[in-house]
Amino acid sequence: MQEETGESKSALPRFFTLEMFMFTVTALSGLVLLWSIAVPYRNVAIMVCAGVVFTLSIVVVIRLIMDPDSVRARQSDSMLKLASQTLTCMNDGMDYKAAQKICGLLLPSTAAIAVAITDKKQILGYAGFEEAQNLPGSIIRTHATHATLADGKLRILFTPEDIGFPSESSNIKAAIIVPLAIGRNVEGTLKFYYRRAKHISETQKSIAEGFGKLLSTQMAASALEEQTQLATRMELKMLQSQINPHFLFNTINTIASLIRTDPETARKLLREFAVFYRRTLEDSADLIVFAREMEQTKRYFTFEVARFGADRVEMEMRIDPRVEDMLVPPFLLQPLVENAVRHAMPSEGKLTIEVTGEVTGNDVIVRVCDNGVGMTEEARCNILHPESSLGLGIAVKNVHDRICGYFGPGTHMEVESELGKGTCVILVLKEGALREYQ
């Protein structure tokens, strides 16, 4: 199949190059013939040669134009360009603006006098005959369209009555109605209206069916992307709700205990606590600057230091300035640091957490490492398992899923751990992370 496709692509330039060459020869020989006739002293030999060349080139041009392969090549090239333009219109899904543009693109490429796109209830786009009477937002009126929405079948209609128009009052005499489906659900229709039934040829049927499938595929892709984004936002909301109560009471108790012994520190912590939760609720955008995520993580760690003491927990950050400026999903570092405090704290001594961010080629490597209790190999392997309730919990799984969703193929999370020596969580944001998100 790939070989055939490559041959078809290479055939298109050959057809068009040969046609252009023969058109040029025809034009030049015609000019020479006219010149030889117009001059006072005619050169018979030149006239004969020019006439012969002109005649032969005319014959070749006609054969090229009428050649089925050449015709198909031109039609294929035209349809591919049209398909590309149509898909570009649907970058943001099938809305009124996209539907109207698509109808305007399709109309000149068919024998139809009008093209329409609908959803389940109303017209999304309409171009051509009686356009002013079929504005976007108008309710669907024809029973044939309702029937196609109901059963999902392509309809080729040869009379106004079949379409749903009065025969005496409509200039539209025939139509092709193609269902637009996402999976098994019909979400709309693509309609081509014709002035005569005889205008519906096999070519028109193929064009209608082909573009119906193309638009359906693009609508399905847009719906899938929207669902993915929705799922990501829901995961983020779930993570926010998990973070909020996690250390709420411990932090409040810590601040309360400091009110009498160290009121100035208590006031500072209370202000930071308010800022932390406001940022937690605000950071629901798709992407934030990495430096903001660092600030929020440092703010969180302030409460842990207040709770456990500086002799028990410590955090160090070494981030490349280029990494600080890049855009990342929110809640990237803080859940990892929080889990280190929760799960890695030794019974004695100090827990040190080290956060680093570096650029390696076009990749970005972020590490959150600790010198805590570590974990077994079984626990390490279970961390990212979808059904696991062990390991570092849902927050780390959430971070993993979101970086893969934002940064694409190759992006992944690695976890290295050894009992008694600590754990290191490594985020590998693959090639193009800096270039795409800066």
| Distance separating the N- and C-terminal Cα atoms of the chain | 40
Which is higher by pLDDT, 225 or 353? 353
pLDDT at 351: 95
Q: Of 206, 219, 221, whose CA–CA distance to 98 is shortest? A: 219
Top pLDDT among 7 and 337 is at: 337
Residue 7: what pLDDT? Answer: 40
List, for residues 288-300, the tens digit of each pLDDT value: 889 999 998 998 8
pLDDT digits 0-9 by tens, 142-160: 899 999 999 999 999 998 8
Q: How confident is the model at residue 2 (pLDDT cuts 50, 70, 90)?
A: very low
For the stretch 100-136, pLDDT in tens is: 988 998 888 888 999 999 998 899 999 998 888 888 8
Q: Give the integer Cα–Cα distance in Å for 5 and 147.
A: 38
Torsion of CA 56, 58, 59, 65, to 10 degrees: 140
Q: Residue range 179-191: average pLDDT?
A: 88
pLDDT given for residue 383 in this prediction: 74
For the chain, what percent of residues have pLDDT higher than 70?
Answer: 73
Helix (H) or strand (E) holding 274: helix 263-282
pLDDT, tens digit (0-9, with 9 covering 90-100), for 44-91: 777 777 777 777 777 776 665 555 554 444 445 565 666 677 777 777
Asked whether residue 235 carries a pLDDT value surpassing 50, the answer given is yes
Q: What percent of the chain has a predicted confidence (pLDDT) above 90?
A: 25
Mean pLDDT of 349-369: 93
Burial class (CB in 10 A: 0-12, 13-18, 19+), 6: exposed
Cα 89 to Cα 81: distance, rounded to the nearest angstrom: 13
* Position 437 pLDDT exceeds 60: no
Query: What's the pLDDT tens digit per position in 274-333?
Result: 777 666 656 555 688 899 999 989 988 998 998 899 999 999 999 999 999 898 888 889
pLDDT of the residue at 132: 87
Q: Label residue 42 by pLDDT band (50, 70, 90).
A: low
Note the pLDDT tens digit of each residue in 23-38: 677 777 777 767 777 7
Neighbours of 236 (CB within 10 A): 19
Instruction: Please indicate, yes or no, whether the overall pTM of this predicted structure exceeds 0.75.
Output: no
